[in-house]
A and B are shown apart, each in its own frame.
Chain A
């Protein structure tokens, strides 16, 4: 059974204080690892897909990396608008996504 574990559960940052979120996973036949951002009361917003170990992707202050066992989402110099829950999900050969519980990030001005 696919398993996705995200840590920490919650992260409180000062504006400008960089940090990293972790997503460790076990899956048989990884097609892709996905990162989404979810704001309260809304659907998840797609951020990145990573397909193979060593791959990195960047978008504004966010950078996602992938190894064979885990992925990191680095937030560089965060702003209050980066406050959200960040979800990690793995996609197996059946195209289904298995989500982690998420990391709720709060950035204080």
Chain B
């Protein structure tokens, strides 16, 4: 299998607080992990790419100081939304890539963030 988990699945927070989302590959070691954002009825937009032990690479227009990514091990990556605002409310999805299968990305179940 290729199972990826995310925690929490849903979070509601007040404006100005920080929120951490965890992404874990449960049954394989991920070469690379990716973070996406999805707005209602829209497709996935890549935010950043992270490799274990190195700094994340952010897509154009994504604020690296606002969306902090840590990739501590081959099975765990975290996304911290700092000083969250209502416009950060969205569906955040991570994926983990398996290089032995041509870097096929397996996705987590997503985290619904609502900032009040």
A residues near B (Cβ < 8 Å) are: 31-32, 34, 36, 41-46, 49, 51, 87, 91, 95-102
Chain B interface mostly helix, strand, loop or mixed? strand
B44 touches A34 (CB 8 A): no
Given A51-B102, A95-B32, A43 contacting B110 (CB threshold 8 A):
yes
Whether a CB of chain A sits under 8 angstroms from the CB of B74 is no
CB distance from B104 to the nearest CB of A (A): 6
Give bound CA distance, A43 to B7, whole Å. Answer: 13
Task: Indicate the size class of the contact surface on chain B.
Answer: 20 to 34
Closest CB in chain A relative to B92 CB, distance in Å: 10
CB distance from B13 to the nearest CB of A (A): 19
> Which chain B residues numbered 8 to 61 have a C-beta less than 8 Å away from chain A?
32, 34, 42-44, 46, 49
Report the Cα distance A34→B95, complex, angstroms. 14
Q: Which residues on A sit within 8 Å (CB–CB) of B103?
A: 31, 91, 95
